[in-house]
Copies of this chain bind each other. A is one copy, B any other.
Amino acid sequence: MNSIFGSPELLETLKEHMQLEQYAKGDIIENAGDVSKRLFFIKKGIIRVFYRTAGREICCHFAKENEILTGIDSFFTGKPTIYTSQALETTECYSLTKNNLDWVFDHVEGMDRYGRIFMIEAYSELVERYNSIVSMSAEERYEDFMNKHSDLLNRVPLGYISSYLGMKQETLSRIRSKQN
């Protein structure tokens, strides 16, 4: 999800069309019901994305520095999003409006290819998560998460991680203590 940062020239070109935004810990960046208007390149900090269902909040994504955040369900379709995104630390990100994105797609070489790859990567990531929840135990999912995102454990409250992993906080806590 971060290959664009591998191309410094492209990033520089993009930055000319982006605004730098600052969020404090706890700030809501976009709210459920909004139409997502911006795509974010996160410079520093961490954001959780969640939605509400059956009274609970379910966290479906964490995005941190050097990653891209956008509401795929809303940004590309123009429909209101069901997701809320919130800064979990002091967070800085470059934002790109949809208009500017369209301009970029028209004028910046390699951007359309990047867009397609972005979608395929997002899709593949989701497939993996789906499979993990269908075919792995809570303990295996935790280990898998640790292998991929161990850094998040110290930056994100346990309750958010447990809902991301599809289990209760108590269960995650017990799994952790079992492994010492």
* A134 pairs with B166, CB closer than 8 A: yes
Which residues of A75-127 are within 8 A (CB) of B?
76-77, 115-116, 119-120, 122-124, 126-127
Cα of A72 to Cα of B120 in the assembled complex, Å: 8
A144 to chain B, nearest CB (A): 13
A134 / chain B contacts, CB cutoff of 8 Å: 58, 133, 166
**Chain A residues touching B, range:** 20 to 34
A127 / chain B contacts, CB cutoff of 8 Å: 73, 126
Interface presence of A154 (CB below 8 A)? no
Contact with B along A41-74 (1 / 0, CB 8 A): 0000000000101101010100000000000110
Q: Which of B73, B119, B133, B166 contacts A116 (CB 8 A)?
A: B119
Closest B residue to A119 by CB, please name it: B119
Cα of A129 to Cα of B60 in the assembled complex, Å: 13
Greatest chain B CB density within 10 A among A53, A60, A124, A134 is at A134
